[in-house]
Structure 1
Amino acid sequence: MSSIVTVQDAVTAFADFVEPTNAELDAIEVEMPVILADVALLDAQIITLDRTPTELDIRRIRRARRRALAARVALLNSADAASLPGGAA
């Protein structure tokens, strides 16, 4: 039977290089409103998986869906504004 220690050493040997870069962390920070809105939408949908949705559940899902779409639009609009020359919107 082979020891797992040798495999562990091979996996963790490059742990310092696996960390995200500052640019990747900045990209995640920019996308965080979209991520949080998607999580809220998933939470609202998960609540209704094992039961018939009530009117309140339907409104909660609809509201979460609108927030997720608004967050995506805001992210796209900010990306478009940043890509224009001179910073003009």
Structure 2
Amino acid sequence: MRHIVAVQAGVTADEYDREPTAAELDGIEREMSVVLAEVDLLDVYIATLDRTPTELDSRRIRRARRRVLAARRALLNQSDGTSLFGGAA
């Protein structure tokens, strides 16, 4: 049985098969504080999924939201004015 495959598959790399560039890694590193703050917010939401949020849970959610906003603000303040988030603006 013969398998039919693309002749150039071993030579040409797909766009998604490559390693990230240095610029992409720098961008990830620059946005890491926002990513970690969003993960913390998601953790708080997950912890309250199966129950009615208590007052303490509500405080944790508000605190986590404020951390996300502060991290985004800090990132935007250090950026060069380029759009960092996928908003419609």
- CA shift for structure 1 position 14: 3.1
Please tell me whether residue 14 in structure 1 is matched to residue 13 in structure 2. yes
- CA shift for structure 1 position 80: 4.2
Any idea what the Cα deviations from partners look like across 1:9-57, whole Å, max 9, x if unmatched? x59x738x51100100000000000000000001101111111111111
Q: How many residues align?
A: 75
| Equivalent position SS for 2:38 | helix
- CA shift for structure 1 position 60: 0.6
Please tell me whether residue 41 in structure 1 is matched to residue 41 in structure 2. yes
TM-score w.r.t. structure 2 length?
Answer: 0.71
Unaligned regions of 5+ residues in structure 2, if any?
Answer: 82-89
Q: Which amino acid aligns with 1:31?
A: E
Residue identity (%): 65
RMSD after superposition: 2.8
In the alignment, the residues of structure 2 paired with residue 58 and residue 47 of structure 1 have an alpha-carbon distance, to the nearest angstrom, of 11
Q: Return the structure number with greater helix share.
A: 1
Moved over 6 A (4+): none
